[in-house]
Amino acid sequence: MALHHGARLRSRAAPLLAVVVLAVLALVSLLRNRNHTAAQRKILLDPSFTPRLPRQGALSLSLARRNALPPRNAARFPSLPDGHLKVVLYVHNRPRYLRLVVDSLSRVDGIGEALLVVSHDGYFPEMDEIVKGIAFCQVKQIFAPYSPHLFPDSFPGVAPGDCRDKDRAAEKRCRGEPDQYGNHRSPRIVSLKHHWWWMMNTVWDGLEETRDFDGHILFIEEDHYIFPNAYRNVQLLVDLKPKKCPQCYAVNLAPSDVKAKGEGWESMVAEKMGNIGYAFNRTVWRKIHAKAKQFCDFDEYNWDITMWATVYPSFEAPVYSLRGPRRSAAHFGKCGLHQGQDSSSVCVDNGAGAVELDAIDKVPNIKADWPVHIIRKQPGYQAGFKGWGGWGDRRDRELCLSFAYMYHVKDTLSVVEKLPPSGTLSMVVPMLQGEVPFFAADEESSSVGALLIP
């Protein structure tokens, strides 16, 4: 009898226990979700580093003020729908190319749903005018205020007393550290990596229009011709990624081999991250941002090679990106970035006829029931590559690292908690409003915004 009673009790206790366990699990997941946004905001910073930014001249200051202006065309495109993408176009000084890209964007299906952010490296009136003329979507224009192109006689431009070429600093008593090949910095060469890193930090963590955005941001360049199906294809890929390729970090508009048009298979393709039309979310940005030191210390002036050789290999798994079997964007430029119109050797190429579209490139052409073909081994830059140099100067490395800190370090930190193993700090910080956050008082740039450590 007693035995029987005990058994009955146990059989009643089992469902009760199950209910309690389920309730606890539900509560835990609820609490987790509630703190989802806070978790995404955790920033890794090294407390021993103090960010410094160069003193700005009049042009730099006036551009920084323009960066705070609201997007244009907001009256014509008042609401951006759920599931829209932000599109960031980064440009230097190739107006002929930019006209072609803007023209291609104007014919992209869905572009009116997007916020287009155009990030300028340097101030060039012709580039400015082209962007001001865009009428097919909301446009937010920003200018990198610390671009070397805005500093004619001080760092990040060339300052009097700087070493040049293969100067020997000790003999010539000049300033600067050479790269691994013995060459001193050249502003024209370092500007590209500075711009890309400033733009990434600004778009994800600085700009009011994008810093709370939880979707994917698509990045394109001034020599990427964008196909009419690009926007819808990216939306498809973003939707399919969690199920079809959970190991993919990003989606791409084109193969990582910039000359390839795609295989034309009836499958999606996962391969190494490419640099034409790539889109990822904030989770991925936080992983990249956490590698700021590796990015900024690597002696390589190209941002993409820096990512392939140092940042991606430091993630725990291979960094795959998902794309369709046909490209939706094409790199068309023959002139390198350093051969802008202001160069002594002007590169002439109007990009005309570079891209031919078939009917299939004008409509979404990725199918949800396709399998994913994974390309595992690919040639190209990877861990172990030493870098092409051009990035040896201590000042460039510090400016780069300062960009990663400028939106996170302020006197008014709200929460600071210690991360056990590394001794670095994990912080949840309020984002800054409008103004350019740090401002150095002397010519050399001085220390600003000390980190608070409890």
Ligand X SMILES: *[C@@H]1O[C@H](CO)[C@@H](O)[C@H](O)[C@H]1NC(C)=O
Report the binding-site residues for substrate: 121
Residues 204-243 that bind ligand X (CB under 6 A): 241
In the complex, the smallest distance separating the C-beta of residue 243 from ligand X, rounded to whole angstroms, is 11
Nearer CB in complex with ligand X: 23/363: 23
What binding mask, one character per residue, do residues 422-441 give for ligand X by CB under 6 A, x or -?
------x-------------
> How many residues of this chain interact with ligand X, rule: CB under 6 A?
12
In the complex, the smallest distance separating the C-beta of residue 38 from ligand X, rounded to whole angstroms, is 5
In the complex, the smallest distance separating the C-beta of residue 280 from ligand X, rounded to whole angstroms, is 6
Nearer CB in complex with ligand X: 399/429: 429
Residues 155-184 that bind ligand X (CB under 6 A): none
Q: Which stretch binds ligand X (CB under 6 A): 133-141, 257-265, 281-289, 371-379?
A: 281-289
CB atoms within 10 A of CB 133: 10
Q: Is the dihedral of CA 22, 24, 30, 32 positive or negative?
A: negative
d(CA 245, CA 278): 16
What binding mask, one character per residue, do residues 384-423 give for ligand X by CB under 6 A, x or -?
-------------------------------x--------
The residue among 355, 148, 338 whose CA lies nearest residue 258 is 355
Q: Which of 283, 343, 350, 422 binds ligand X (CB under 6 A)?
A: 283
Nearer CB in complex with ligand X: 224/241: 241
Which residue ranges are tagged as binding site? 121, 223, 331
Beta bridge pairs of residue 421: none
CB atoms within 10 A of CB 296: 22
State the pairing for strand pair 278-280/217-221.
antiparallel
d(CA 195, CA 219): 13
Q: Binding to ligand X by residue 363, rule CB under 6 A?
A: no
First to last CA, the chain: 64
What binding mask, one character per residue, do residues 312-351 give for ligand X by CB under 6 A, x or -?
----------------------------------------
The DSSP annotation for 274-304 comes to PSSSEEE-HHHHHHHHTTHHHHHHSSBS-HH
Contact between residue 120 and residue 199 where contact means Cβ atoms under 8 Å apart: no
3-state SS assignment for residue 346: coil
Nearer CB in complex with ligand X: 40/382: 40
Nearer CB in complex with ligand X: 283/350: 283
Which residue ranges are tagged as binding site for Mn(2+)? 223, 331
d(CA 232, CA 365): 9
Q: Tokens 């090294």 correspond to what residue? A: 46
Nearer CB in complex with ligand X: 200/428: 428
Q: Which of 234, 248, 401, 436 binds ligand X (CB under 6 A)?
A: 248
Q: Which stretch binds ligand X (CB under 6 A): 185-193, 195-203, 277-285, 391-399?
A: 277-285
In the complex, the smallest distance separating the C-beta of residue 312 from ligand X, rounded to whole angstroms, is 13
The DSSP annotation for 368-403 comes to TT--EEE-----S--TT----B----HHHHHHHHHH
Nearer CB in complex with ligand X: 227/249: 249
d(CA 341, CA 125): 12
The residue among 383, 287, 258, 374 whose CA lies nearest residue 322 is 374
DSSP helix, strand, coil percent of the chain (3-state; round to 5): 35, 15, 50
Nearer CB in complex with ligand X: 44/131: 44
Nearer CB in complex with ligand X: 54/318: 318
In the complex, the smallest distance separating the C-beta of residue 452 from ligand X, rounded to whole angstroms, is 16
Whether cis (ω within 30° of 0) applies to the bond prior to 152 is no
Residues 284-303 that bind ligand X (CB under 6 A): 284
Residues 8-67 that bind ligand X (CB under 6 A): 31, 34-35, 38
Contacts with ligand X, residue ranges (CB under 6 A)? 31, 34-35, 38, 241, 248-249, 281, 283-284, 415, 428
